[in-house]
Every structure is written in structure tokens, then in C-alpha cells.
């Protein structure tokens, strides 16, 4: 398993892993799930914003990966191929939700003691324990606000921001995942950061000094990097 974990960095070694996956190697598939389950779930969760839907969609993603492995020919990296499938499945889940569930339940999840208990447990388990209690609360508050504003942003800016500022993917990786040009990625990122900045401006003016955030007049890239750093402190897992 350690050999698989160290091999992903090189495309030549990745080809060997893909060959093992196509051959049905249980060790290779165990490595694949261990390597990609958390990031895929986190990406899907940010798209569908419901833990149960995100978990179900993540299962669908890996089923598609397993079934489609024979058709993977290395035109892109394994990571970008999996992320492309994840975004596609998340978009399908959102469309299904609006067609079937939106008329049955409110968009915002109903608060319950059980749900609140689960949220607290997740926060305690996933928040960086090296921070002070105040920093933990502050980071969580900002992360929630950023996540909420991201969910309200129009596509394709939201997906581009998530991939770049939260998933920390390179521009080249994003072009492969979204199958658009580098110029389009940069344009969407600039526009998306400006939209996010405008949406967060009232909040930053209200609590910025207390939480150590930049003023709303800061440059989009600086603001994007700042909120992204907070957003990555609290990972989302099923």
C-alpha cells in the first residue's frame, strides 16, 4: 500500500497503478478509495450541501470510476478524471433534488437535536486542535459563511472557485477537469472572486476586525486566498 501512495506523483508510475486497477487488483482499489474518498466527498458536499446526498453521490462516483476504469486511457491525470466524474454526478444529484425533493421539504435542513449533536461531533473531530478555542469558533464561523455564499453563487464561477481556492488545484488541473481553456479558467476565477468579495463585504465589515479579516476593499486574489485558508481548516467528511 505504501508503494501505491508514493507512486501517484509520477505519471509513469500512475500508468502502472492504472494498469493494476484495470487488472482488478484489490490493493490498487483499496489505495484508490483511501487516496480519493475524502477529497471527492468534500468536493461533492460543497456542490450538493447535504451530507446524506453527498455520501450517496460519492458512492455513485466510485461506482462510475470502477466501471469506467477500462475506458480510462490517460488523456488526463487520474485525479482530474475522478474529479470530472464527481462534478458530473454532483450536478446530476442537484438536478434530481430540485425535481423531486424541493417540493417536499424546505431547502434549508430542519434543525433537530440529533442533527445539532452530529454537527458538534463533526466540528470537534475535524477542527484543527492546534488553534485556541476562540480561533476554532472564528474559523468555523467564517468557513460556514463562505460555504453559504459559495452555494448561492452562479455557475460556473462557484465550481471554479471551489476547485482553485478550496481544493487547491492548479490552473492546468482545472482546465482538464472542466474541459475549458486556461484563459476561461482565469476569467471565471477573477469574476468569481469579485462576486464572492461583494457577497462577503457586509459580513467582513461587521465582524472583520474581531476575526482578523481583510477589509472588503482588498484585492480579490488576496481575499480569495484568505477565505480559502479558513475554508480548508474544517474538512467535511461523511
Domain boundary among 92, 110, 128: 110
195 or 140: which carries more pLDDT confidence? 195
Q: Which 3 state secondary structure label does DSSP give 154?
A: coil
Q: Which 3 state secondary structure label does DSSP give 60?
A: helix
CA distance 238 to 226: 26
pLDDT one-digit tens code per residue, 170-216: 999 999 999 999 999 999 999 999 998 888 888 877 776 666 655 55
Whether the pLDDT of residue 232 is over 80: the answer is: no
Domain that holds residue 135: 114-238
Tell me, yes or no, whether 170 and 66 share the same domain. no
What is the per-residue burial (b if ≥16 Cβ within 10 Å, else e) of 116-128?
eeeeeebeeeebe
pLDDT one-digit tens code per residue, 68-97: 998 898 888 899 999 999 999 999 888 766
Is there a contact between 165 and 43 (Cβ–Cβ < 8 Å)? Answer: no
Q: What CATH number does the domain containing 19 carry?
A: 1.10.1740.10
Quote the crossing angle between the two packed helices 133-152 and 26-48, to the nearest 10°.
Answer: 80
**Distance from the Cα of residue 79 to its chain's centroid:** 13
Neighbours of 115 (CB within 10 A): 12
Tell me, yes or no, whether 132 and 183 share the same domain. yes
Tell me, yes or no, whether 4 and 97 share the same domain. yes
pLDDT one-digit tens code per residue, 16-47: 888 999 998 999 999 999 999 999 999 999 88
Whether the pLDDT of residue 108 is over 60: the answer is: no
Tell me, yes or no, whether 95 and 137 share the same domain. no
Tell me, yes or no, whether 144 and 85 share the same domain. no
Tell me, yes or no, whether 95 and 195 share the same domain. no
Tell me, yes or no, whether 142 and 63 share the same domain. no
Burial class (CB in 10 A: 0-12, 13-18, 19+), 224: buried
- Number of structural domains the chain divides into: 2
Tell me, yes or no, whether 118 and 106 share the same domain. no
Amino acid at each position: 500500500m505504501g508503494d501505491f501512495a508514493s507512486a501517484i506523483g509520477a505519471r509513469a508510475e500512475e500508468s502502472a497503478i492504472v494498469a493494476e486497477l484495470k487488472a482488478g487488483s484489490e490493493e490498487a482499489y483499496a489505495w484508490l478509495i483511501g487516496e480519493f474518498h475524502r477529497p471527492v466527498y468534500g468536493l461533492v458536499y460543497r456542490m450538493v450541501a447535504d451530507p446524506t446526498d453527498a455520501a450517496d453521490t460519492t458512492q455513485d462516483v466510485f461506482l462510475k470510476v470502477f466501471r469506467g476504469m477500462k475506458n480510462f486511457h490517460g488523456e488526463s491525470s487520474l485525479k482530474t478524471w475522478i474529479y470530472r466524474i464527481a462534478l458530473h454526478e454532483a450536478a446530476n444529484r442537484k438536478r434530481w433534488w430540485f425535481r423531486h425533493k424541493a417540493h417536499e421539504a424546505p431547502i434549508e435542513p430542519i434543525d433537530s437535536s440529533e442533527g445539532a449533536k452530529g454537527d458538534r461531533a463533526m466540528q470537534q473531530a475535524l477542527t484543527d486542535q492546534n488553534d485556541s478555542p476562540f480561533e476554532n469558533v472564528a474559523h468555523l464561523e467564517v468557513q460556514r459563511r463562505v460555504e453559504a455564499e459559495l452555494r448561492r453563487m452562479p455557475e460556473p464561477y462557484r465550481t471554479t472557485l471551489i476547485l482553485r481556492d478550496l481544493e487547491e488545484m492548479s490552473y492546468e488541473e482545472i482546465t482538464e477537469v472542466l474541459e475549458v481553456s486556461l484563459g476561461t479558467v482565469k476569467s471565471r476565477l477573477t469574476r468569481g472572486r469579485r462576486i464572492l468579495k461583494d457577497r462577503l463585504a457586509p459580513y467582513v465589515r461587521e465582524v472583520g476586525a474581531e476575526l482578523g479579516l481583510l477589509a472588503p476593499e482588498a484585492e480579490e486574489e488576496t481575499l480569495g486566498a484568505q477565505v480559502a485558508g479558513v475554508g480548508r481548516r474544517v474538512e467535511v467528511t461523511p
